[in-house]
Amino acid sequence: MAGGKIKKEKGKPASNAPYQGGISFHKSKGQHILKNPLLVDSIVQKSGIKSTDVILEIGPGTGNLTKKLLEAGKMVIAVEIDSRMVLELQRRFQGTPYSNRLKVIQGDVLKTELPYFDICVANIPYQISSPLTFKLLSHQPAFRCAIIMFQREFAMRLVAQPGDKLYCRLTVNTQLLARISHLLKVGKNNFRPPA
Ligand SMILES: C[S@@+](CC[C@H](N)C(=O)[O-])C[C@H]1O[C@@H](n2cnc3c(N)ncnc32)[C@H](O)[C@@H]1O
């Protein structure tokens, strides 16, 4: 992601703290939740979500991004591998106006047949970056765009130009199938635990 520096607001009330739901995070599942609400807002704003959009979120975790996506779009379909997170998501949104606009699929996104969606917005576990990118690029019917948080080096490979040090087979294969741009640079301290 590229552009804009995200600054933490000083003196924010505790209600703005990231929702962790008492869950311990497993690094092996790439569980680094977004803890900066301003960053979450910025991602949603840069995604250009329409109120009619069906949004695919991969790895919703405890739902900090999910909540903002629900506010912006018509429906969120979230695919999450960890049953503890699925339970926490259900608890968090149960009985709220969002509950009938959120569908949670428990499973490995790489093995899940994806439903129709207009746009994908996700802070993904970095270890699935490559297979997930190619799964999305071959998804039919085509969707409008995907806004995905990648590890910096992977993101730089996606946007590399001929002659750049990071220009590689991944660059060529992805740029053949999509127009790719870098939206935002995100520091590791925006994640819990730091990514
Ligand atoms: C980087 S965290 C993002 C959490 C949340 N979206 C946020 O931004 O705060 C990645 C999430 O993806 C989930 N995950 C890991 N591997 C997955 C897979 N293969 N399929 C679906 N979800 C996966 C993890 O359990 C975790 O909730």
Domain boundaries, the chain: 31-149, 153-184
**pLDDT reported for residue 18:** 72
Does this model's pTM top 0.80?
Answer: yes
> Distance between CA 120 and CA 84 in Å, rounded?
23
Per-residue pLDDT of the chain (195 residues), as tens digits, is 433 333 443 444 445 667 777 888 898 899 999 999 999 999 999 999 999 999 999 999 999 999 999 999 999 999 999 999 999 999 999 999 999 999 999 999 999 999 999 999 999 999 999 999 999 999 999 999 999 999 999 999 999 999 999 999 999 999 999 999 999 999 999 999 888
The pLDDT value given to residue 19:
78
Please tell me the distance from the alpha carbon of residue 178 to that of residue 157, in angstroms, as a whole number: 14
Query: Is the Cβ–Cβ distance between 26 and 47 less than 8 Å?
Result: no
The answer to whether the annotation marks 59 as part of a ligand binding site is yes
Cβ of 37 closer than 6 Å to ligand 1, yes or no, is no
If you count them, how many residues does the chain have?
A: 195
Nearest Cα to Cα of residue 104 among 71, 59, 43, 69: 59
123 belongs to an annotated ligand binding site: yes
For residue 146, the cross-strand partners are 120
Q: What distances in angstroms separate CA 42 from CA 2, 25, 82, 184, one per listed residue?
A: 11, 24, 26, 9
User: Could you tell me the CA-to-CA distances from 146 to 75, 133, 156 in Å, in that order?
Assistant: 16, 10, 16
Any ligand 1 atom below 6 A from CB of 32: yes
Has domain 31-149 been given CATH number 3.40.50.970? Answer: no
Q: What pLDDT does 21 receive? A: 74
Check whether 34 is labelled as a binding-site residue: yes
Point out the ligand 1 atom lying closest to the alpha carbon of residue 31.
Answer: 2
| Ligand 1 pocket member 61 (CB < 6 A) | yes
Q: Give 133 Cα–ligand 1 centroid separation in angstroms.
A: 15
- In this structure, the residue with its CA closest to atom 14 of ligand 1 is 59
Phi, psi values for residue 123, rounded to 5°: -105, 100
Is 80 one of the annotated binding-site residues?
yes
Rounded Cα distance, 165 and 64, in Å: 35
Ligand 1 centroid, distance to 162 Cα (angstroms): 32
ipTM over 0.95: yes
pLDDT of residue 178: 97
pLDDT at residue number 6: 39
Using the mean position of ligand 1's atoms as its centre, give its distance from the Cα of residue 163 in Å: 34
Q: What is the pLDDT of residue 13?
A: 42
What pLDDT sits at residue 15? Answer: 53
Following CA atoms 79, 29, 183, 38 in sequence, which dihedral angle do they give, to the nearest 10 degrees?
90
Distance (angstroms) between ligand 1 centre and the Cα of 58 equals 6
**Any ligand 1 atom below 6 A from CB of 123:** yes
**What SS3 class is residue 185?**
coil
Q: Does 56 count as an annotated binding residue?
A: no
The string of pLDDT tens digits covering residues 5-57 is: 334 434 444 456 677 778 888 988 999 999 999 999 999 999 999 999 999 99
Q: Ligand 1, residues 31, 34, 62: which to mutate, most atoms within 8 A of Cβ? A: 31
